[in-house]
């Protein structure tokens, strides 16, 4: 029952663990945006390799992330097939040329389409190692402080921290309620009909939601009694100062963004086009 | 020393959402440095008084105020919640709602963070209080890894950083095992002395609170203060039980043995009771006149546990292991032990919610092959919080749910549900929406919804936690009634007197192991078991010891028999 | 009473707890319909409930934080266009929710119809406009593919909220029923 398969912080003492959470967050956000914007194949491959190396440095084991990777691969394949089925000629339009590889009527496969699909998959996967790295090496306590430091209001930052604080409690409630409902005779297995499953899920979800919502009042009272929200700012018990490594990593992130902007000029657009 | 720090003058308060005033014409003075017990049944208004002292009224709860309430010289209608927070610190009943940080250290620092203190200063303050309360090794732990007692202490540390002159504890004992409860009371006492703080404890468990000295008891009922006396004086007046607050047991036992309480000068501590041969003799002769009926009936084995265990994860320090026991038909069993000792795990195993090592058989049938649903027809499980069990809007539908999901025809359902409603004393309410019911009634609904499936065994997780004496009696008498009808009942509990008064057999757990399977009385005579399982002796035992009775256990048993004589089944017919 | 600027403390907590519930619901309560990749998601009816109770800001934030957090914690990746779409869904329903009075147990048939009209509009805006357009801008995916995905989401999520959302809202209003009008019989 606690086979929850949710990614979480794993303490360690690598160089990456030691980095300030804010640094890691800035790096993650900037590089993700860079990967989102560009379609330059060389840049995407470079980031892919870099982030795999980082995973290695952080000492992350395959089995810690294997279930995610498998899921992403399945998702990426389905999505790529869908993209191909809907518009097999999309690559030609993007790259302004046509090199037929397999001739099959509507489903004619061109080198351009294949290259486009390759780029799409790269975009899906290149930022994943970075996210995994962030989740597995960052103490959730520092999450809120870091969000606040990069400019998110402290109230919203604290809301994120509260969410992380109460996810395990609500998950525990979910399991207990679900078990009690199954004992009442609620069947959620695939054998049951759709109507029954909807009904069954509602019987679990309603008490879960209502008993959790009851807590909002108590928790907000407790926070107000301890002066949350009374000032325009707040400090953080877990905040950490920047070291030289932090400045270097942050600079690297900005450099990567600059590279993407430069690539825009070089490629005259988002796409790197090897066909012309 | 005699300046009042808190003063209510002809104070009344009516919540906007309610038709009638919750507090009616309150007059109350509390002096600086006093330690007060604010007692009263649920809904009496005692928590509302607390909410005036920390400024939640009128800053958050809106309503009409007449009269005046001054806290540390400030009128509550003219003071902001922010200003109040430096005057009054509150430890809420539900530690899980008060402990909001991701780690202990962060939570203690929460108020300081909101004051924009520098990081170094915060760490210094947090360390100082963690040392004071002996929780330094917990600073980096998460709330999920702490026991109920530890959470309570963290919550206390989190408000002590303010060093406010007034501390309010809202039902601090509600969710603690007996040993942790005693420890919490001792810590409150220590802190109060060090800070010379004014302490107000809102509780209905008078006996446990009196384990430390209390200056004054203020008794609240129906929105009015009906008594406001020094502790000893109040105990001389027979008033607690008239409003549904349980009197300390040793006093009830003395009264039952015809000892004149009025003639004893100090009643608030057993140790201070006079050494009198006359009282000793009265207690001894009273013990002897009560007949101890031995249970000689031969029990039929029902449920057999054979080397049962479960481990949640490899890192779990004390997984449940190697539990073997036989539960007989008609047993009324209490499962006791420290928070996290494996009590709930065992119940979940029996119900099939989690997998297990070992073998469980019910009437020689191996349960391993039955689904949760099939097991539920033989073994019912009632969760602690009824709100987590109730999924329907109307009472009838809630109780019928299990039958409907088993495709029973509607006529049979109607007949069975009505029959169950009658057994549970809920028949007059059958067309009510559940939201209109009290906690005790909701609890009965959840028991009824299990009962309707006609299980042989019913397991209840802390059925009376946090309930006042009236609700406690209502729930427990109902369970006893079911037991008399032949149902086998197993409850998890922290309440020692409940264990003694209602159950006939106890399973004690410590660190994942079953350490005792015996009668409740036997369990509480073994000092080693008491300390291992975080239990505590009742005051009856201490009283017997104080008067050097020849057989203290017999005295305890005699008192329990005496109480049971007053019990009737008739309320449910 | 609330003279501070910005979010009230209650809203902050509602966002935090709401997002935590969102993550758990997203993780455990999808109901497969039998059509591949099409699930009845309880999270959207839940979001609708929360947005109607606590308003547009909480609706938006719970949608945003809840969706992003649950994606990251489960898949290590998120699709920002869809995160934004969920947030907008919460925002629009929350705006309409300001006109309702669920806290006092009121949820009339007329309001029920109004709620459902608004939620369908919100679903169209989110899944048929924001999510696909975002996919085109961010991932340069073919238009017909993303719009078909968007249309499917619009339909399933509208139906989810129509049935489950309405039930949840009605049930919530029922728990707020005033006492005093009941008689034993």
List residues bridging with B74 in a β-sheet. B71
Write the CB contacts of A46 (distance below 8 Å, at least 6 apart in sequence): none
What digits encode the pLDDT tens for the residues B287-315? Answer: 888 766 666 567 889 999 999 999 887 77
> With pLDDT > 90 as the criterion, what percentage of chain B qualifies?
54
Between CA B431 and CA B364 the distance in angstroms is: 41
Q: Do C24 and A228 touch (CB under 8 A)?
A: no
Q: Do C73 and A135 touch (CB under 8 A)?
A: yes
List residues bridging with B36 in a β-sheet. B200, B216
The yes-or-no verdict on residue B189 having pLDDT over 90 is: yes
To the nearest whole angstrom, how far is the Cα of A236 from the nearest Cα of chain B? Answer: 6
Q: What does the CA dihedral C172, C174, C176, C177 come to, rounded to 10 degrees?
A: 170
A 36-55 → B contacts, CB under 8 A: none
A203 in Cβ contact with A179 (< 8 Å): no
To the nearest whole angstrom, how far is the Cα of C135 from the nearest Cα of chain B? Answer: 35
> Would you place residue B217 in the very low, low, confident or very high pLDDT band (cuts 50, 70, 90)?
very high
The helix (H) or strand (E) run that includes residue B221 is: strand B216-221
Residues in B closer than 8 angstroms to C185, CB to CB, are 428, 431
First vs last Cα of chain A: how many Å apart?
56
> With pLDDT > 70 as the criterion, what percentage of chain A qualifies?
96
Residues in C closer than 8 angstroms to B62, CB to CB, are 1
What digits encode the pLDDT tens for the residues A4-31? Answer: 456 678 888 888 888 999 999 999 999 9
Between CA A227 and CA B563 the distance in angstroms is: 48
* B58 preceded by a cis bond (ω within 30 of 0): yes
Q: Is residue C163 part of a domain?
A: yes
Answer yes or no: do A53 and A3 share one domain: yes
Write the CB contacts of B535 (distance below 8 Å, at least 6 apart in sequence): B177, B178, B179, B336, B337, B496, B508, B523, B524, B529
To the nearest whole angstrom, how far is the Cα of B186 from the nearest Cα of chain C? Answer: 33
Given a contact as 3+ CB pairs under 8 Å, which chains touch C? A, B
Answer yes or no: do A152 and A133 share one domain: no
8-state DSSP, B300: P
Q: Do C176 and B19 touch (CB under 8 A)?
A: no
The helix (H) or strand (E) run that includes residue B166 is: strand B166-170
3-state secondary structure of A127: coil
B27 in Cβ contact with B7 (< 8 Å): no
**Given the structure tokens 């990426």, which residue do they identify?**
A76
B217 in Cβ contact with B35 (< 8 Å): no
Q: Burial, A257: exposed, middle or buried (Cβ in 10 Å; 0-12, 13-18, 19+)? A: middle
Pairing of strands C39-40, C31-32: antiparallel
pLDDT for the residue numbered B296: 59
B423 in Cβ contact with B572 (< 8 Å): yes
C152 touches chain A (CB under 8 A): no
3-state secondary structure of B31: strand
> Would you place residue C6 in the very low, low, confident or very high pLDDT band (cuts 50, 70, 90)?
confident
To the nearest whole angstrom, how far is the Cα of C114 from the nearest Cα of chain B? Answer: 24
C 95-114 → A contacts, CB under 8 A: none
List residues bridging with B13 in a β-sheet. B23, B65
Q: Closest to C177 (Cβ–Cβ): which among B62, B429, B433?
A: B433
pLDDT for the residue numbered A13: 84
**Given the structure tokens 């404890």, which residue do they identify?**
B201
pLDDT for the residue numbered A223: 94
B435 touches chain C (CB under 8 A): yes
What digits encode the pLDDT tens for the residues C69-88? Answer: 998 888 777 888 999 999 99
Cβ count near B517 (within 10 Å): 17
Q: State the residue range of the domain holding A58.
A: 1-139+239-276
Answer yes or no: do A94 and A226 share one domain: no
Q: State the residue range of the domain holding C116.
A: 9-175
Q: Do B405 and A186 touch (CB under 8 A)?
A: yes
Locate C107 and state its tokens: 């949820």
3-state secondary structure of A143: helix
What digits encode the pLDDT tens for the residues B30-59? Answer: 999 999 999 998 888 898 999 999 999 999
Mean pLDDT of chain B: 89
CATH number at residue C158: 1.10.1760.20
Q: Closest to A162 (Cβ–Cβ): which among B100, B159, B391?
A: B100
pLDDT for the residue numbered B223: 92
A99 in Cβ contact with A110 (< 8 Å): yes
Q: What does the CA dihedral C124, C126, C127, C132 come to, rounded to 10 degrees?
A: 120
Residues in A closer than 8 angstroms to C5, CB to CB, are 232
Pairing of strands B224-230, B301-310: unpaired
Average pLDDT for B78-91: 91
Nearest to B504 by CA among B520, B515, B484: B520
Q: Do B431 and C185 touch (CB under 8 A)?
A: yes
Q: Helices in chain A by DSSP H: which ranges? A: 15-18, 21-37, 41-57, 62-86, 90-95, 111-126, 128-137, 140-149, 154-184, 194-225, 244-267
pLDDT for the residue numbered A170: 93
Beta strands in B430-555 (DSSP E): 457-461, 488-492, 505-510, 513-518
Handedness of CA B329, B332, B338, B339 (dihedral sign): positive
Chain A residue nearest residue B375, CA to CA: A183
What digits encode the pLDDT tens for the residues A135-178? Answer: 888 888 888 999 999 999 999 999 999 999 999 899 989 999 99
DSSP assignment string, B318-384:
S-EEEEEEEEETT-EEEEEESTTSSHHHHHHHHHTSS--EEEEEETTEEGGGS-HHHHHTTEEEE-S
Between CA B472 and CA B464 the distance in angstroms is: 5
First vs last Cα of chain B: how many Å apart?
57
If phi > 0 it is left, if psi is from -120 to 50 it is alpha, else beta; for residue B176 that is: beta
> Would you place residue B173 in the very low, low, confident or very high pLDDT band (cuts 50, 70, 90)?
confident
What digits encode the pLDDT tens for the residues B106-119? Answer: 999 999 999 999 99
Domain count of the fold of chain A: 2
Between CA B46 and CA B25 the distance in angstroms is: 14
pLDDT for the residue numbered A204: 92
pLDDT for the residue numbered B560: 85
Answer yes or no: do A37 and A134 share one domain: yes
A 223-252 → B contacts, CB under 8 A: 223-231, 233-239
Q: Do C9 and A206 touch (CB under 8 A)?
A: no
pLDDT for the residue numbered B122: 96
Q: Do C139 and A194 touch (CB under 8 A)?
A: no
B553 in Cβ contact with B542 (< 8 Å): no
3-state secondary structure of B270: helix
If phi > 0 it is left, if psi is from -120 to 50 it is alpha, else beta; for residue A46 that is: alpha
Answer yes or no: do A135 and A148 share one domain: no
Locate A183 and state its tokens: 């004992």
Nearest to B246 by CA among B536, B23, B519, B473: B473
Answer yes or no: do A24 and A117 share one domain: yes
Residues in B closer than 8 angstroms to C174, CB to CB, are 393, 433, 435
pLDDT for the residue numbered B423: 83
The yes-or-no verdict on residue C1 having pLDDT over 60 is: no
Write the CB contacts of A70 (distance below 8 Å, at least 6 apart in sequence): none
What digits encode the pLDDT tens for the residues C104-125? Answer: 888 999 999 999 999 999 999 9
Cβ count near A150 (within 10 Å): 11
Q: Closest to A219 (Cβ–Cβ): which among C13, C140, C143?
A: C13
Locate A92 and state its tokens: 């030609």
Cβ count near A273 (within 10 Å): 17
Residues in A closer than 8 angstroms to C77, CB to CB, are 72, 124, 127-128, 131
Between CA B410 and CA B406 the distance in angstroms is: 11
Residues in B closer than 8 angstroms to C182, CB to CB, are 432, 436
Answer yes or no: do A47 and A11 share one domain: yes
Between CA A132 and CA A117 the distance in angstroms is: 24
Domain annotation for chain B: domains and CATH numbers: 4-244 (3.40.50.300), 248-289+537-573 (no CATH), 303-534 (3.40.50.300)
A100 touches chain B (CB under 8 A): no
Write the CB contacts of B125 (distance below 8 Å, at least 6 apart in sequence): B109, B112, B117, B161
List residues bridging with B168 in a β-sheet. B90, B200
Between CA C70 and CA C47 the distance in angstroms is: 14
Cβ count near B416 (within 10 Å): 18
Nearest to A95 by CA among A274, A268, A267: A274
What digits encode the pLDDT tens for the residues B515-530? Answer: 999 999 889 888 899 9
Q: Do A227 and B373 touch (CB under 8 A)?
A: no
Nearest to B547 by CA among B260, B280, B278, B268: B280
Average pLDDT for B260-282: 90
Given a contact as 3+ CB pairs under 8 Å, which chains touch A? B, C
> With pLDDT > 70 as the criterion, what percentage of chain C qualifies?
90
Chain C residue nearest residue B425, CA to CA: C184
Residues in B closer than 8 angstroms to A165, CB to CB, are 100-102, 143
Cβ count near B566 (within 10 Å): 6
What digits encode the pLDDT tens for the residues B461-493? Answer: 988 877 888 888 888 988 998 898 889 999 999
B216 in Cβ contact with B231 (< 8 Å): yes
pLDDT for the residue numbered B564: 76
pTM of the model: 0.90
Nearest to A246 by CA among A3, A20, A5, A1: A20
Between CA B115 and CA B125 the distance in angstroms is: 13
Q: Is residue C134 part of a domain?
A: yes
Cβ count near B494 (within 10 Å): 28
ipTM for the predicted complex comes to 0.89
pLDDT for the residue numbered C29: 86
Chain B residue nearest residue C182, CA to CA: B432
Between CA C90 and CA C88 the distance in angstroms is: 5
Q: Is residue C35 part of a domain?
A: yes
Q: Burial, A16: exposed, middle or buried (Cβ in 10 Å; 0-12, 13-18, 19+)? A: buried
Q: Closest to B388 (Cβ–Cβ): which among A207, A218, A238?
A: A207
Q: Is residue C185 part of a domain?
A: no
What digits encode the pLDDT tens for the residues A210-237? Answer: 999 989 989 999 999 999 998 999 999 9
pLDDT for the residue numbered C2: 41
**Given the structure tokens 């509208």, which residue do they identify?**
C158
Residue B526 CA from chain centroid, whole number: 23
Q: Compute and round to an integer the Cα radius of gyration of chain A.
A: 24
8-state DSSP, B78: G
Domain count of the fold of chain C: 1
If phi > 0 it is left, if psi is from -120 to 50 it is alpha, else beta; for residue B518 that is: beta
Q: Do B97 and A222 touch (CB under 8 A)?
A: yes
Average pLDDT for B83-94: 90
């Amino acid at each position: 029952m606690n086979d929850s398969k949710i990614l979480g912080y794993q303490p360690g003492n690598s160089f990456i663990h030691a980095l300030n959470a804010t640094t890691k967050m800035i790096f993650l956000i900037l590089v993700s945006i860079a990967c989102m914007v560009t379609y330059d194949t060389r840049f995407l491959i470079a980031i892919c390799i870099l982030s795999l190396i980082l995973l290695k440095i952080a000492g992350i084991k395959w089995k810690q992330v294997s279930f995610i990777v498998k899921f992403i691969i399945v998702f990426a394949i389905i999505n790529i097939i869908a993209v191909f089925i809907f518009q097999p000629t999309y690559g030609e339009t993007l790259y302004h040329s046509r090199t037929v590889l397999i001739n099959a009527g509507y489903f004619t496969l061109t080198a351009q389409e294949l290259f486009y699909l390759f780029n799409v998959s790269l975009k899906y996967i290149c930022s994943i190692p970075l996210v995994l790295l962030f989740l597995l090496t960052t103490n959730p306590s520092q999450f809120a402080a870091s969000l606040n430091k990069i400019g998110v209001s402290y109230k919203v930052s604290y809301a994120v921290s509260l969410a992380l604080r109460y996810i395990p409690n609500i998950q525990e409630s979910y399991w207990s309620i679900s078990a009690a409902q199954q004992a009442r005779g609620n069947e959620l297995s695939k054998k049951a009909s759709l109507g029954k499953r909807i009904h069954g899920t509602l019987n679990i979800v309603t008490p879960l939601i209502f008993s959790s919502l009851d807590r909002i009042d108590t928790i907000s009272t407790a926070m107000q009694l301890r002066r949350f929200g009374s000032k325009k700012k707040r400090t953080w018990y877990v905040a950490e100062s920047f070291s030289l490594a932090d400045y270097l990593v942050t600079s690297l992130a900005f450099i990567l963004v600059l590279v993407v902007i430069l690539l825009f000029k070089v490629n005259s657009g988002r796409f790197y086009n090897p066909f012309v | 020393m005699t300046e009042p720090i808190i003063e209510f003058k002809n104070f009344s308060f009516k919540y906007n959402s309610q038709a009638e005033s919750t507090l009616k014409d309150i007059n109350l003075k509390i002096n600086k440095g006093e330690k007060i017990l604010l007692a009263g049944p649920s809904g009496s208004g005692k928590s509302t008084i607390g909410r005036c002292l920390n400024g939640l009224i009128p800053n958050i709860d809106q309503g009409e105020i007449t009269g005046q309430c001054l806290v540390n010289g400030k009128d509550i209608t003219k003071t902001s919640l922010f200003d109040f927070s430096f005057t009054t610190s509150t430890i809420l009943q539900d530690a899980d709602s008060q402990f909001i940080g991701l780690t202990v250290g962060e939570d203690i620092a929460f108020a300081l963070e909101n004051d924009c203190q520098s990081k170094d200063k915060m760490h210094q303050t947090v360390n100082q209080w963690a040392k004071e309360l002996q929780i330094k090794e917990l600073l980096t732990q998460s709330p999920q890894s702490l026991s109920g007692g530890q959470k309570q202490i963290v919550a206390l540390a989190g408000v002590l950083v303010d060093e406010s002159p007034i501390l309010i504890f809202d039902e601090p004992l509600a969710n603690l095992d007996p040993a942790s409860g005693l420890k919490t009371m001792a810590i409150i006492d220590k802190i109060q002395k060090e800070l010379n703080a004014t302490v107000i404890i809102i509780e209905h468990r008078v006996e446990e609170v009196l384990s430390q000295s209390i200056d004054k008891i203020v008794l609240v009922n129906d929105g009015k203060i009906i008594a406001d006396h020094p502790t000893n004086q109040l105990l001389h007046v027979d008033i607690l039980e008239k409003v549904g607050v349980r009197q300390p047991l040793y006093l009830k036992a003395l009264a039952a043995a015809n000892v004149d309480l009025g003639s004893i000068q100090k009643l608030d501590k057993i140790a201070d009771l006079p050494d009198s041969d006359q009282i000793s003799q009265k207690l001894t002769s009273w013990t002897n006149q009560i007949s101890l009926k031995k249970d000689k009936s031969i029990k039929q084995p029902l449920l057999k546990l054979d080397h049962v265990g479960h481990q949640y994860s490899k890192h779990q320090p004390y997984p449940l292991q190697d539990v073997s026991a036989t539960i007989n038909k008609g047993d009324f069993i209490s499962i006791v032990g420290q928070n996290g000792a494996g009590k709930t795990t065992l119940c979940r195993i029996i119900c099939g919610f989690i997998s297990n090592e070992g073998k469980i058989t019910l009437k020689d049938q191996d349960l391993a092959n039955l689904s949760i649903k099939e097991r539920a027809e033989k073994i019912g499980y009632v969760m602690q919080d009824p709100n987590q069990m109730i999924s329907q809007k109307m009472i009838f539908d809630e109780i019928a749910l299990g039958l409907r999901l088993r495709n029973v025809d509607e006529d049979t359902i109607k007949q069975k549900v009505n029959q169950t409603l009658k057994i549970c004393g809920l028949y007059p309410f059958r067309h009510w929406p559940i939201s209109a019911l009290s906690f005790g009634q909701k609890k009965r609904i959840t028991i009824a919804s299990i009962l309707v499936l006609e299980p042989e065994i019913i397991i209840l997780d802390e059925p009376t936690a946090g309930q006042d004496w009236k609700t406690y009696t209502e729930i427990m008498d109902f369970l006893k009634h079911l037991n008399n009808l032949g149902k086998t009942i197993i409850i998890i509990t922290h309440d020692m007197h409940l264990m003694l008064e209602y159950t006939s057999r106890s399973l004690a757990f410590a660190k994942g192991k079953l350490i005792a399977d015996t009668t409740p009385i036997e369990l509480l005579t073994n000092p080693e078991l008491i300390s291992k399982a975080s239990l505590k002796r009742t005051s009856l035992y201490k009283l017997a010891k104080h008067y050097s009775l020849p057989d203290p256990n017999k005295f305890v048993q005699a008192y329990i028999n005496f109480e049971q004589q007053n019990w009737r089944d008739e309320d449910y017919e | 009473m609330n003279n501070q600027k910005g979010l009230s403390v209650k809203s902050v907590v509602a966002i935090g707890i709401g997002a935590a519930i969102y993550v758990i619901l997203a993780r455990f309560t999808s109901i497969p319909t039998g059509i591949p990749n099409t699930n009845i998601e309880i999270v959207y009816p839940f979001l609708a409930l929360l947005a109607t109770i606590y308003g547009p800001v909480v609706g938006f934030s719970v949608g945003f934080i809840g969706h992003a957090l649950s994606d990251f914690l489960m898949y290590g990746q998120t699709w920002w266009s869809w995160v934004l779409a969920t947030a907008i869904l919460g925002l629009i329903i929350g705006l309409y929710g300001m006109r309702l009075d669920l806290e006092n147990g009121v949820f009339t048939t007329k309001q029920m119809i109004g709620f459902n009209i608004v939620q369908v509009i919100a679903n169209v805006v989110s899944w048929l406009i924001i999510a696909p357009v975002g996919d085109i801008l961010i991932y340069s995916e073919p238009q017909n593919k993303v719009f078909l995905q968007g249309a499917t989401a619009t339909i399933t999520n509208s139906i989810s909220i129509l049935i489950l959302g309405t039930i949840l809202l009605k049930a919530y209003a029922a728990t707020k029923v005033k006492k005093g009008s009941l008689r034993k019989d």
